[in-house]
Structure 1
């Protein structure tokens, strides 16, 4: 059985997009002692969710992930070639330092940054991306993209996360997309889905890689849209409460006071 501390930490680690502060506020109110020891949970959440932070000098943003993590809560950003320290609880950055690109594919990496900037701006209202040498194989590059849309006034929040590995030697690309959407008006509905993309050859350099990523993700989004249409007209529609024969909505709060024949049927009680 999980300890109370593990249970509390799991609430942080699985918090819906854009709602971590609300979850933490609840934890501090209900379990103040456990709330003091959540640093590992904050770190895991920030890295898994590809949280975007402002760089210490205010010149741009960077993604937090296991792929660009250094020791002692430091991360590096290849676009600005700097490293920085992060307070995972507040998501604030500090102590910037130069960080040279340690890859034989530095020029390709820079070109991929440009290509992804163009691609993501065409498909997402706001997004962030980074390209880093892959931890386990520095001869390959890891491409990360994250886009968020938070609308708490309409009771929904969402996050899109893409992870790709590109091998310049074989010109092959493989990856996955994760989509997490939470809708909570008069209920609590969450969609957390993932799509894997098998390895494929992509020749033509950085621009071709950007186009292939856009192609894969457009197809995935189209599949999602079709799936939602099927659900809306099928399963979800069958779950909706049907109108009575009078075609008038039932006022359920007054149900106890109805006289079946007269009030519902509109005629005289028998």
Structure 2
């Protein structure tokens, strides 16, 4: 005997919606949200949760904020409180409207640790040069967290390309962390690179791939350590890109090839538009 399925609770609905929106392709959050809004059929619930869902997506995907007052990525590392963030480079805090994608209420937010700020700024300046050369339209932010005996440096990078006219969008983002102590001569760098791509012309292919990186970084002066860090990051990016291209070629010869429809025995494409037009004309003649 079949039993009637219990309807999902509001909490269960939002858990599913949140999980799906986290996977929304780059620059397509609004489209994904609108589609889910139709599927959920609960406008009140979706509108109520819109801001928190946008905030989650923006922080997860390092949404860029660009204005005359600040230029920074939104991450969990520079969140002060709900909907408030800071730009360590411009030393300002601001409120961010995740739905409208607008910053406001700018206030001074000075850094107190001069030594830590010197390391952070040196790392940012070196990373900025690399990002401007390799990530068109990309942005980087560097944050520092102090404890009693160590300083934790976090570098975030995000580059996105939005090409709806060419039927694709893409995001390359990475996060890098290492720790400094007064006696450090080397440190471990932990990095995560994530690439998202969406192609939607003759099909609908959504790629998401991540790679974790762990390397040793020599610690000397601020300038030399920055140069070594940027070189480490560049090598990791290049290696990952090479692996992606190899995997793409392998998939093109196997999985993606299987998706393609086989040509007919004539080995030429069928002109379906011509066939349908001819069929329509013949039907109209028969009805005369």
- TM beyond 0.5: yes
Give CA deviations for 1:213-234 in whole Å, capped at 9, x if unaligned: 1111111111111111121123
Cα distance in 1 for residues equivalent to 2:196 and 2:204: 13
Which of 69, 81, 85 pairs up with 2:91? 81
- Which position in structure 2 is the counterpart of 1:196? 212
Cα deviation digits, residues 152-201 of structure 1 (max 9, x gap): 11111111111000223333322110111111224321101101001322
Given the two structures, how large is their TM-score scaled by the length of structure 1?
0.84
Q: Distance in 1 between matches of 2:36 and 2:97?
A: 19
- Contact 1:163 1:177 (C-alpha < 8 Å) held by counterparts: yes
**Larger relative helix fraction:** 2
Q: How many residues in Structure 1 have an aligned counterpart in Structure 2?
A: 255
**Distance in 2, Cα, partners of 1:59 & 1:71:** 19
Distance in 1 of aligned mates of 2:31 and 2:261: 32
Closer, same or farther in 2 for the Cα pair 1:7/1:234, shift >3 Å? Answer: closer
Normalising by structure 2, we get a TM-score of 0.79
Q: Deviations over 1:121-175 (max 9, x none)?
A: 2211121111101488961100000000110111111111110002233333221
Corresponding residue of 2:22: 13
User: Gaps (5+ residues) in structure 1?
Assistant: 258-270
Pairwise CA distance, 1:4: 3.0
| Unpaired segments ≥5 residues, structure 2 | 1-7, 279-288
Worse overlay, 23-32 or 79-88: 23-32
1:27-59: CA deviation from partner (whole Å, max 9, x where unpaired)? 55654212221222111111101001124xx24
Q: CA RMSD in A?
A: 2.6
